[in-house]
Amino acid sequence: MLFYPIDYTGTQWYRDPTVPYGIFGWQGVVPCKTEKMASRLVHIVTERLLTVKEAFGRMEPDELASLLIPIVEEELRNEPYGDVWVRILHPFLPRILTHVVGQLQIDIEDILDLRAVVLEAFVRDKVVLVDLFQKVGRVELDFLVESGLGFGFLLGLVQMVAWVVTPKPWTLPVAGAVVGYVTNWIASE
């Protein structure tokens, strides 16, 4: 329910795309909230862990330029008179690309909008975001699954005692809400 289905499954009769449920259907919470979750992920990574300038600044311009040379030459070959351009520019490409990479390192935050790039990638392929959340949150998710039986049993006993003491119809939904809040609290700890 948290991760699957990736795309909304059900009738489109009435559905707000910002929530995982419709009148008759469901979409996993993570795929439904892709933009919001990807935006938070980019914020955490770029604000708290590593800025784009720091990450890009760690690259050696010469090494990156040498990796780019075959790609640039291949793209040039696709242009009219591409082979001629490759022969003319080949001796100068390492120096040009090293200079370009050096300038990019200085101005990378003005040129690259990392948030937009990551958001577009996650929106285009929601499976990647789901896989990321599953891998990163594996320990917490395993804890929830393994402890769910025990906590559910204990909270069920409390609910049963509440029903025996006060056999009123309202006790079941109230106990259900309490179980939900307690489970969420335990999951967030």
- Distance from CA of residue 83 to its chain's centroid? 41
- DSSP lists the bridge partners of residue 21 as 26
Tell me the C-alpha to C-alpha distance, in Å, between residue 108 and each of 42, 44, 100.
16, 19, 11
Structure tokens at 113: 């909008």
- Please tell me the predicted confidence (pLDDT) of residue 95: 92
Q: Which pTM was predicted? A: 0.49
**Residues with Cβ within 8 Å of residue 30, at least 6 apart in sequence:** 2, 3, 37, 126, 129, 130, 133
For helices 126-136 and 34-43, the axis angle rounded to 10 degrees is 60
Say how far apart CA 128 and CA 8 lie, in whole Å: 17
pLDDT tens for each residue of 42-90 = 777 777 777 777 777 788 888 888 888 899 899 989 888 888 988 998 8
From 9, 33, 8, 3, select the one nearest 122 (Cα to Cα).
Answer: 33
Calculate mean pLDDT across residues 91-103: 89
